[in-house]
Structure 1
Amino acid sequence: MLFKESVSIAIAALLSNKLRSILTMLGIIIGVGAVIVMISIGMGVRQNVTNSIASLGSNMLIVTPGSANKGGVRSAAGSNQSLKLDDAEAIQKRIKDIDYVAPTVNSSYQVVYGNQNWNTSVYGVTPDYMKIRSLTVASGSFITNADDNSRNRVAVIGSTVATNLFGTKNPVGSNIRIHNQPFKVIGVLESKGQSSMGSDQDDVVLVPLKTAQERLMGITYIRSINIQVTNTNDMDAVQEQVETLLRQRHHIRTGEDDDFNVRNLTSIMETMSSTTTMLTLFLGSIAAISLLVGGIGIMNIMMVSVTERTREIGIRKALGATFKDIMTQFLIESVVIGVAGGLLGVFFGVSISLLISHFSTFTTYITAAPIILSFTFSVGTGLFFGIYPAKKAARLDPIEALRYE
C-alpha cells in the first residue's frame, strides 16, 4: 500500500507543477526521440545500401577491364579493351561452383518511338543476365539464345523507358529506333526502383549481346563479365580461380599488373554494412547525449523540490517516516519523470521516423532494439540522477526541517 501511495503522491506532485514537470521531461523526450530517429535513419541507410548491392545479384563477382597504359600514360580504369567473349565462355566451361556467367556491353543512345525520344543506357546481354540480376519480365518475354546467335534486333525495355516513350500503351510488339536502327520491343521489365546511389535501375534497354557488339556498337570486346557463384563460402576461391584463368589467357607474366579487375560484391557488402553500422552507432551516441542533459535536468528539479518540501519532509519524519520511506518517495518521483519522458520520447521518435519515410523518398527502418534501449536508459537516467536529491531529503533533520520557512 505504501508503494501505491508513494506513486500517487509523486504523480500529484508533478501535476501540481505541470509546466515545470514538462520542461524537466523535455531533455528526456528529446533524447529518446533523437536516439530513435537517428538510429532509424542509420538503419535506413544500411538497408538501402544492402538492397542496392543485392539488386546487382547474389554471390556476385564482376570482372571489368583494367586501365590502358600507353607510352607510360595510364588512362582511366575500365578503359582497356582486354576482355573478350571467349573469356566469359572459358570461365563458364573451366571453373566449377558457378551458376551463371553473363558478359555485357553498354553505351548511351537516344531511343525513338514515333515523335517521342528518350536518352537511356543500352546494354547488350545474354539470357543469363536475367537470372543473375534477378530481373522479372512484367509483360512479353526476355532475350533468348536464338536471338543472340541470330543477331536479332529485339529489345527488352525498363519501365522508365516504357513510360516516357509509350505512356500507358503496352510497348510489346512495337518498333523503336536505337541509334537510328530499328528494334522490336519483345518485353518490359518489372520496376526495380532507384539504387542507393540514386540511379534509376528502370532506365535501361536490353538487347542481345552479339547484336549490340556487331550491329549497334561495332566492337569485338566486352565491358564486363558478371559471375554468380553457387555458394557464398566459395566466393574467394572462385575469384582466385577466375584471376588465374584470365592471367593465363591474357599471357600476363609474374610480376606484371593485371589488365582486368575482379570485384567481389559480397566483400563490398560486408564492408558497407560495417561502415553503416558504425555510422548508426555514431548517430545514436550523439543523440544519447541529450539523455544525459535530461538527467541533469531531473537532478536539478528534484533538488528544488526537496528545498520546497522541506517542512513536509520534517512533518513526515516526525510522524514516523523512515530514511527508506523518504528515499523511496523521491526516487519514485524521479523515475516517474523518466518513465513519462521516455514514453513521450518513444511516441515522438517513432512519429518523426514515420513522417520522414512518408514525406520523402528516403526510407527509415524502425526496430524494437533502439526503442527498448532508449526507454530503459531514460528510466535508468531518472533513477540515477534522483539518488542524490532523495538522499539529501532522507537525511534532513526533522527538527531543522520543521523550523524551515
Structure 2
Amino acid sequence: MPSVAVVWRHVVRAAGFATEAVWAYKLRSAFVVTAIGLGIAALTVIVTAIDGAERRTMEIMDMFGPDAAFILGGDIQSNALGKRTNTLSWSDVHALRQSLPGAYLVVPMRGQGNVTARAGNRNMVIPVVVGATEGYSDVWNWPLSEGRDFTEEDVARGAKIALVGDAVAEELFGDRSPVGQVIYLKDIPVLVVGKLAYRGFTGGGGNIDERVVLPLTTLTQRFNLDRQYFRALRVKFHEPEYMPTHVENLRSLLRHLHRLGPDDADDFSILTADEIIGFISMLKGGLVAFLGVTAAVAMVVGGFVLANLFYIGVTERTTEIGLRKALGATGWMLTMQFLMEAIILTTAGALLGMGLGMGLGQALTRLGILDIQFSGKVFCIALGSSALIGVIFGIRPARMAARMDPVSALRRDAGPAAS
C-alpha cells in the first residue's frame, strides 16, 4: 500500500496535469465555465435574497409595530377611476377611541405630496409631507436621533415646526445639524425641532427618509386641506398576539360606521405587519421559484456540457492516456486527473457566477425589491454545488479514461501505420 507521501505526490502531479489540460482546451473550458456560472449566479441570488428577505422582514416588523394597524381611506385593491379615498373622518376617530375593543391608541394622519423644500441655497422635492399628532416617534415606532417630538400644545396651536428625515437633513444641511434651522415648504417657514433616525427603507412612495412631518393642524391649515376627512389612521392594540381578532373587530366597526351593506366592498384598507410581511414573502417566493428553476436548468445544462465535452476529450486524448498508462499511471490516477479538471472548471464557473450574482443582487437592492447581503454561507454553497456538479458529471468520462487499454489507445492513434 503506498505511503501518504507517495499518494500526495500523485495528487499534486494529477492537479498539475489537470490545470495544463484546462488551459490547453480553452474553448471547451469557456463553454463549461459559462454554463456553470449562470446557474451559480441564480443560486447566489436565491441564497442572498432569502437571507435578506428574512432580515428585512424582522426590520419591517419592528418599524411597523407588531401591535399596530394602518387604515387607509379607499380600497387600495380596487383602483377604479373616481373611487373615493377620503372616507375616514373625525367621527371615525372618536368612535374607534370609545368603542373598539383592545385599542389603546387611535390617531389620524394625512399627507401632501411633492412639496418643494428650501433651506438657504439648497432645494429638494419632498415626496410626502406628513401631518401627524403629538408623540410621532412613539406612535409610529420611529425614534429621533436629535431634538424633540411634537407636544399636544404644538398640535393644538398649529405650530410651524417640523421633524425631518435623515435624507432631508443631509440634502438640505449637509453635515450640519438640522435642529434649530428653518426650512421653507412652498414658502411657508417652519422650524426644525427634531431629526428622525435613519431607516434606509424604500417603498412604493420612494425613500422613507425623504420625509418631513408637521403637526396635523399645521398641515391642514397651511395647505388648505379638508378639515373633516383625512387619509389614514394609526391604531395600536393591547395583546398583539390577538391581532387577527383585533383587525376583524376594527373592520366590522368601520363598516358599521360607514353604513356598508353585506354585499358592499370595504371603502377602506387595513394593513398590518403580517400583511406586509406576507406580501414580501410572496415576492420572495416568486423570485426563489423563478431563479431556482433557472439555477437548476443552467447547472444541469452546464453539467451535460461538461460531460459531453469530456467524452470528446477522452477520445481526442487517447495518445496522452495511452502513454501515461504505459508509463505506469494507474486507473485511479487518471480518474483523479479528469475529476480535478472538472472541479477546476466548475470552481471557475462558481467564481464567475458569484460575480454575476453580486451584480444582479446590487441591482435588486437599488430597486428596493430585496435587501441583498453576501456572507460566507453563499461562498461555501456556491463552491460546494459547483464541485458536486463537477464530480457527478465528470465521473463517467473519468472512469472511461481510466479503463482505457494503453496498447489499444496507442495503436488506435497510430492508425494504419501501426499495422
| TM tier, smaller | 0.7 to 0.9
Q: Partner amino acid for 1:259?
A: D
Equivalent residue number for residue 241 of structure 1: 249
1:304 — aligned with what? 313
What pairs with 1:241-280 in structure 2 (closer than 5 Å)?
241-280=249-288
Mapped to 2, the partners of 1:390 and 1:130 lie a distance apart of 66
Where in structure 2 are there 5+ consecutive unaligned residues?
415-419
| C-alpha separation in 2, matches of 1:177 and 1:391 | 77
Tell me the alpha carbon deviations over residues 195-236 of structure 1, each in whole angstroms, 9 at most, x when there is no partner: 054712222221112333345424221110123456664332
1:246 Cα deviation (Å)?
Answer: 1.0
CA gap of 1:196–1:205, structure 2 versus 1, over 3 A, is closer
Q: 1:343 to 1:40 in 2, by over 3 A?
A: closer
User: In the TM superposition, what whole-angstrom CA distance separates every residue of 1:310-330 from its partner, at most 9, and x where no partner exists?
Assistant: 5337637xx7x8xxx52x333
Pairing 1:338–2:342 present: yes
Cα displacement string for residues 282-325 of structure 1 (whole angstroms, at most 9, x for unaligned residues):
22442444433443335423543352335337637xx7x8xxx5
Matching residue's letter, 1:297: L
Q: Is the 8 A contact 1:67 1:259 kept in 2?
A: yes
What value does the CA root-mean-square deviation take over the aligned residues? 3.9
1:151 aligned to 2:158?
yes
Task: Report the alpha carbon displacement of residue 83 of structure 1 after superposing the two structures with TM.
Answer: 0.8
> Following TM superposition, by how much is the alpha carbon of 1:397 offset from its aligned partner in structure 2, in angstroms?
4.8
Match of 2:396 among 373, 381, 388: 388
From 87, 90, 96, the counterpart of 2:92: 87
Identity %: 22
Task: Tell me if structure 1 keeps the 8 A contact 2:48–2:372.
Answer: yes
Contact 1:28–1:291 (8 Å) recurs in 2: no
Q: Which residue of 2 aligns with 1:195?
A: 202
**1:366 maps to which of 374, 381, 384:** 374
Contact 1:39/1:281 (CA < 8 Å) preserved in 2? Answer: no
CA distance in 2, matches of 1:175, 1:359: 37
Q: Whole-Å Cα distance in 1 between the matches of residues 203 and 80 of structure 2?
A: 30
Match of 1:14 among 11, 18, 24: 18
Distance in 2 (CA, whole Å) between partners of 1:90 and 1:18 is 76
CA distance in 2, matches of 1:286, 1:330: 33
Q: Secondary structure at the match of 2:255?
A: helix
Structure 1 stretch displaced more, 379-388 or 241-250? 379-388
Structure 1, gaps ≥5 residues long:
none
Query: 1:225 maps to which residue?
Result: 233
Cα deviations by residue, 1:305-360 (Å, 9 ceiling, x for unpaired): 352335337637xx7x8xxx52x333322321233234434444445555677899
1:38 matches 2:42: yes
CA shift, 1:181, in A, is 4.2
Secondary structure in 2 matching 1:226: strand
CA distance in 1, matches of 2:133, 2:292: 46
Structure 1 position 243, deviation (Å): 0.4
The size of the alignment, in residue pairs, is 393
- 1:98: Cα distance to partner? 4.7
Q: 1:97 to 1:307 in 2, by over 3 A?
A: farther
User: What TM-score, normalized by structure 1, do the two folds share?
Assistant: 0.79
In the superposition, relative to structure 1, how do residues 371 and 219 fare at CA in structure 2: closer, same or farther (>3 Å)? same
Deviation sequence 1:15-73 (CA, Å, 0-9, x none): 443523555544554455444443444566663775895586133422111269xxxx9
1:95 shift after superposition = 3.6
